[in-house]
Chains A and B, each alone.
Chain A
Amino acid sequence: MQERVIDNGKDRGAVFQAARKIAPLAMGYIPVGMAFGVLAQKAGLSVLNAVLMSVFVYAGSAQLIAVGMFAAGAPPVSIILTTFVVNLRHLLMSAALAPHLSKWGLGRMAAFCYQLTDETFALHSMRFAEGDRDRRQTFMINAMAQTVWILSSWAGALAGSGVPDVKPLALDYALPAMFIGLLAMQAENGLKWLTAGFTGLTAVVLVQAGLDQWSVIVATVIGATFGAGVETWTKK
């Protein structure tokens, strides 16, 4: 009995701490998740499918791009391929966190990776760097973050039919604004910014050349090669 009481107290403390840690992240998830829900409804997705996408895919920018493609009548294969390219960036985040979680065992690592997003990566890499690798806390943070995401998209999908036009609310700017925020989080030095500028211009040139479908992946490969090349060259 005594132990039970202490355990409960510890539980509440851990929940409270996790909630405090995800508060800034949740503030970002709520408007973007609602924007996704509204746009999904407008694109013709059922409320259930909008919510299921947040449950199974759980990747903000890919979900927003996907509903845009659904609305444009794009074939499923190209939606899936685009999702793959857009989410390739998580390769690096997964590799970067790997050393911190190497003692967790494959099953727990596999579960952790399911909820690895740009935002949870930023949060956990900060925590891990400070030596805070508490497993319960980590999973609690991830579960809370995805819950906020799912509820926001659900609310957006329900509200969707009541929103006559997404333009006055600038919901079509949620994705570009999100990219700006993520880019500032990722670009930690001058060379990263230079790479961003170079890649952006490459993408613009490719779109102008009529290669809309391939601009993102081709520009990304050229841009990353440019950045890595400049880094290698300036180090020698």
Chain B
Amino acid sequence: MDQKIVFLTILGMAAVTYIPRAAPMLALAARGIPEPVMRWLSYIPVAVLSAMLAPSLLLHDGSFDFGMDNLFLWAALPAFALAIKTRSFFGTVALGMGLVAAGRFFLGG
């Protein structure tokens, strides 16, 4: 892989990451964002997170997979329960990865 291209891609990623992080705060220093826009924006985090998450849990090779060997889906249930109960980011990541690793070890997936 051409590391120069990777580096230029990283710079592009840095720019498009920084703009949404800084623009609202810097713009708001001057004036406010209209209420309906704020309301719409308030649903962006949950929407984008679930849009990225759901296909990785429910689909396998492009079709629904509710089989016992879909470890990604079954590990998500206790991980969700723990996340909602404790709000612990570390606990959730550790439990999710631990369950998938254990499932692969014991079921040989």
Contact = CB atoms under 8 A, between A and B. Distances in A.
B53 interface: yes
A185 B39 contact: no
Interface stretch (A10-18, A156-164, A212-220): A212-220
A219 to B, nearest CB: 4
Interface in A9-36: 24-25, 27-28, 31-32
A62 B13 contact: yes
B67 interface: no
Given A59-B17, A94-B24, A168-B105, A178 B93 contact: yes
Interface in A175-204: 175-187, 192-193, 195-197, 199-204
A99 to B, nearest CB: 8
B13 A208 contact: no
Contacts of A87: 16-17, 20-21
Contact of B16 (A45, A84, A98, A192): A84
Interface in B73-109: 75-76, 79-80, 83-84, 87-90, 92-101, 104-105
A10 to B, nearest CB: 28
Contact of A119 (B28, B51, B75, B89): B89
Given A70-B6, A197-B50, A199-B50, A177 B97 contact: yes
B14 A57 contact: yes
A203 B7 CA distance: 31
B29 A98 contact: yes
Contact of B21 (A24, A113, A182, A231): A113
Main secondary structure of the interface of A (DSSP, over half): helix
B29 A95 contact: no
Contact of B44 (A27, A89, A116): A89
A21 to B, nearest CB: 14
A129 to B, nearest CB: 15
Contact of A88 (B7, B26, B48, B52): B48
A31 B89 CA distance: 11
Contact of A80 (B13, B72, B100): B13
Given A49-B7, A86-B52, A177-B79, A101 B104 contact: no
A27 B90 contact: yes
A173 interface: yes
B84 A79 contact: no
B68 interface: no
Given A28-B93, A171-B97, A92 B44 contact: yes
Interface string B1-44: 10101111111111011111111111011000100101111111
Given A89-B20, A92-B41, A94-B22, 7 more contacts: A28-B89, A85-B48, A91-B44, A92-B44, A95-B38, A170-B99, A223-B43
Interface of B: 1, 3, 5-14, 16-26, 28-29, 33, 36, 38-59, 62-63, 71-72, 75-76, 79-80, 83-84, 87-90, 92-101, 104-105
Q: Which 9 A-B pairs have the closest CB atoms?
A: A200-B54, A177-B96, A184-B83, A223-B47, A227-B43, A181-B92, A113-B22, A84-B16, A27-B90
